[in-house]
Amino acid sequence: MAIRVVVAKAGLDGHDRGAKVVARALRDAGCEVIYTGLHQSPEEIVATARQEDADAIGLSVLSGAHLTIFARIMELLESQPILVFGGGIISDGDIAKLKEMGVAQIFTPGASTTEIAEWLKSALANH
């Protein structure tokens, strides 16, 4: 059965090129991808993941609001077994904070789409 992943852009961040590139790469790697489009709230993203029976949520945040947005998504998921990962221009210190919240992985600029797809498959196999 294919991995189902929601790829999302939260808040007022209007730059979705990276999210679309990752969505296409995951699709090419055999995943079923649901792309939410721009300007989604954490509530909408989690609702979509639940409705779509997603295995993972991939969140792209370039607005600088990553700590707030990821924290809300993790809170909304409670203890649901949905893997959360993301990408953006995020400092090492903030990456550590996100991982403490339960975010599984953060990819920064320069990460290859192959690396992201392989990591997702491996992470879900061990999740």
Q: In total, how many domains does the chain have?
A: 1
Tell me the mean pLDDT in the region 76-90. 94
pTM: 0.95
Domain of 26, in residue numbers: 4-125
Provide CB contacts within 8 A for 22, sequence distance 6+: 7, 58, 60, 87, 113, 116
Residue 18 — left, alpha, or beta (φ > 0 → left; ψ -120 to 50 → alpha)? alpha
pLDDT tens per residue across span 47-65: 999 999 999 999 999 888 9
DSSP-derived pairing of the beta strands 4-9 and 56-60 = parallel
Q: What's 63's domain CATH number? A: 3.40.50.280
Q: Quick one: pLDDT at residue 13?
A: 77
pLDDT tens per residue across span 90-99: 999 999 999 9
At 106, the amino acid letter reads I
Kindly state the greatest CA–CA separation across the chain: 36
Tell me the mean pLDDT in the region 7-30. 91
